[in-house]
């Protein structure tokens, strides 16, 4: 396959026109087991997607400006968030201003307290020109003691190659950054489409608003890979909130290898 599967194009081609709003288009996507688990006991990373659906996910990555995860996933999985499963082809120097064959989405991490690891693969790939510079969306503390330690972490991470993006809001001790502000901020920085890959708490934050207040949904498309296995009750769930959601409508379902991939969209 040399271009994105039709399943993805039919869901995401509308992103090629401007969103007409002050946030990027948002695709929420992840892989789960039949019993709706996204990781194993204690958060152990599980490769749930088979080869074919993993390739589909990497095509999906090429179709977005940004790829957003929570700091829990960054620390637990040490992900690369690149497109390495796609077929090799000649590099196109016009892509991302890098010598890459495919559009690489910008890694964006929700990292409230700047816990990101300066030795992680995302920074290693960036410094070796194999990936884009990761952005760390965080909150700047007001307290002077906390602020001093925060400045030290900020300097370390910036020296290691990260871009630190403090949010402008009245930060107290909240662990969760306000998602609407996160989206407005990255939109202002040029991200017109973003793929949200998890983990559990981030998926829940995006879904909760869609279920509770469909009119102000933060999600345009949901693409879930369902792998034909049971993980068991020790696995990690995301929990989509209470009550069924009618906001997201079924668009299409496709098989990739042994996995079922379901696409939903916000009409
Ligand atoms: N199967 C799949 O497709 C995927 C599975 N995972 C799994 O998910 C697990 C990690 O999930 P979590 O520990 O829940 O971490 P997470 O990746 O959801 O990060 C949560 C952290 O992000 C920060 N954050 C800032 N603003 C937030 C907001 N508004 N909402 C939510 N979080 C916000 C907070 O510090 C919070 O503790 C790992 O086991 C990983 O393997 C992760 C991604 C995809
Ligand atoms: N699509 C999908 N299937 C799975 O089975 C997964 N475990 C994930 N996880 C997500 O992908 C990240 C890893 O990316 P790299 O392989 O390092 O590029 C991981 O952190 C999750 O966000 N996704």
pLDDT for residue 151: 94
For ligand 2, pick from 57, 134, 256 the residue to mutate: most ligand atoms within 8 Å of CB. 57
- Tell me the fold of 21-32+48-265: Dihydrofolate Reductase, subunit A (3.40.430)
For position 48, what pLDDT does the model report? 98
The atom number, within ligand 2, closest to the CA of 47 reads: 5
pLDDT tens-place values along the chain, 267 residues long: 788 999 999 999 999 887 678 899 999 999 999 999 999 999 999 999 999 999 999 999 999 999 999 999 999 999 999 999 998 887 777 766 666 789 999 999 999 999 999 999 999 999 998 999 999 999 988 777 788 999 999 999 999 999 999 997 776 668 899 999 999 999 999 999 999 999 999 999 999 888 777 788 899 999 999 999 999 999 999 988 777 777 889 999 999 999 999 999 988
Give the closest residue to 218 by CA, choosing from 250, 185, 190, 196: 196
Domain boundaries, the chain: 21-32+48-265
What are the tokens at 63?
A: 């179709």
**Dist. CA 1 → ligand 1 center (Å):** 31
Nearest CA to ligand 2 atom 17: 79
Closest C-alpha among 254, 265, 263, 267 to residue 52: 254
Residue 25 DSSP SS3 = strand
ipTM score of complex: 0.99
Q: What distance separates the 2 farthest-apart alpha carbons in the chain?
A: 54
């Amino acid at each position: 396959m040399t271009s994105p599967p039709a399943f993805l194009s039919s869901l995401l081609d509308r992103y090629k026109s401007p969103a007409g709003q002050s946030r990027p288009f948002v695709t929420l996507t992840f892989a789960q087991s039949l019993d709706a688990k996204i990781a194993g006991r204690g958060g152990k990373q599980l490769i749930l997607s088979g080869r074919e659906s993993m390739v589909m996910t990497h095509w999906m990555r090429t179709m977005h400006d940004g790829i957003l995860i929570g700091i829990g996933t960054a620390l637990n999985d040490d992900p690369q968030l690149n497109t390495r499963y796609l077929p090799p082809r000649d590099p196109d120097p016009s892509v991302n201003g890098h010598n890459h064959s495919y559009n690489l989405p910008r890694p964006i991490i929700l990292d409230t307290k700047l816990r990101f690891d300066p030795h992680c693969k995302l920074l290693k790939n960036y410094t070796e020109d194999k990936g884009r510079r990761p952005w760390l969306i965080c909150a700047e503390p007001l307290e002077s003691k906390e602020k001093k330690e925060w400045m030290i972490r900020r300097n370390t991470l910036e020296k290691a190659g990260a871009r630190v993006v403090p949010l402008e809001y009245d930060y107290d001790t909240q662990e969760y950054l306000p998602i609407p502000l996160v989206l407005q901020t990255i939109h202002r920085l040029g991200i017109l489409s973003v793929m949200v890959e998890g983990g559990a708490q981030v998926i829940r934050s995006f879904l909760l608003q869609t279920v509770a207040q469909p009119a102000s949904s933060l999600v345009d498309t949901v693409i879930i890979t369902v792998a034909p296995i049971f993980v068991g009750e020790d696995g990690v769930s995301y929990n989509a909130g209470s009550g069924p959601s009618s906001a997201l409508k079924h668009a299409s379902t496709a098989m990739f290898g042994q996995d079922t991939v379901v696409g939903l969209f916000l009409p």
